[in-house]
Amino acid sequence: MSATVEIKNLSKIFARQDTDGTLHALDKINLSVGAGEFVTLLGASGCGKSTLLRLIAGLEMPTIGEVLFDGEPIRGTDSRRGLVFQDHTLFAWLTVKENMKFALKSAKRYTEKKGEIDSWLALAGLSEFSDTYPRQLSGGMRQRAALVRALSVSPDVLLLDEPLGALDSFTRMNLQDELIRLWRERGNTMVMVTHDIDEAIYISQRIAVMSPRPGRITEILDVPMSYPRNRAADDFTKLRTLILKLMHFARDIQEEYTI
């Protein structure tokens, strides 16, 4: 149901064909994610956080260092590590239920899991829309469908690449609650990429703050608040202030936050 992820002394350098040079995307990344933990990678666009997620997924290989999944080096993709993108990536020509069937068949788990499809749709509040095509759904409903499609194959680790970034603010906040609920009910290990500070504080147990390219983890912060969290609470706003300082967006703020 859940697994550990360990990143050891990882660097990633890409060749640039346009300039015959190189792009140093990530530098000396070290991070451990415990089984069942929710960790967020937080940083500005271009800091390498999505690249780091792709390395955990097995879509990219490290230049230096290694990524371990339950203690074993990652050598490629695996259905035990699910990935949800900002774009829902549902197949437009398949209904919601057919999209879920396709995911289970691709993971070779259809026979084992087909009886759970209706319960997953119910969990996402999509029972009435099982025979609906993605174009007929709202943005929030499409993203809910993408989340439960990824979860339905029972990945040990779910990787989330700004899954709520394309949504309006109200839908996004509602989906943050849905994501927390799904995680707490299912117990998967979650690693999410975001550039939204409030989202990182609201959802995750720990936040890895990343610097601009080459991406480095400059700080790993515990979020010592119980769920559900209050966005207007003093602890919430103080942690936001600390993160703004760490990211050099609040040099004139004097209030300190200690953990």
Crossing angle of the two packed helices 139-152 and 169-186, in degrees rounded to 10: 20
Confidence of residue 250 (pLDDT cuts 50, 70, 90): low
Torsion over CA: 205, 209, 210, 212 (sign): positive
Residue 172 corresponds to which amino acid?
Answer: R
Residue 143 is predicted with a pLDDT of: 86
The string over 156-168, giving b where at least 16 C-beta atoms fall within 10 Å of a residue's C-beta and e elsewhere, is: bbbbbbbbbbebe
d(CA 130, CA 2): 27
What pLDDT is attached to residue 210?
96
The mean pLDDT of 23-28, rounded to a whole number, is 94
- Over residues 78-113, the pLDDT tens digits come to 989 999 887 768 999 999 999 999 999 998 999 999
Identify the residue with better confidence: 258 or 223.
Answer: 223
What span, in angstroms and rounded, lies between the C-alpha atoms of 91 and 105? 14
- Asked if the model's pLDDT at residue 259 lies above 90, the reply is no
What CATH superfamily classification does 1-80+157-179+189-259 receive? Answer: P-loop containing nucleotide triphosphate hydrolases (3.40.50.300)
pLDDT band at 25 (very low <50, low <70, confident <90, very high): very high
Which two three-digit tokens encode residue 211? Answer: 């610097």
- Its pTM stands at 0.88
Mean pLDDT of 145-153: 87
**Pairing verdict, β 21-33 and 217-222:** unpaired
Domain layout of the chain by residue ranges: 1-80+157-179+189-259, 90-154
Q: Can you give the pLDDT at residue 65?
A: 97
CB 32 within 8 A of CB 6: yes
Q: What pLDDT, in 10s, does the model give residues 37-49?
A: 999 999 988 899 9
Which of 95-99, 159-163, 174-178 is modeled with the greatest confidence?
95-99
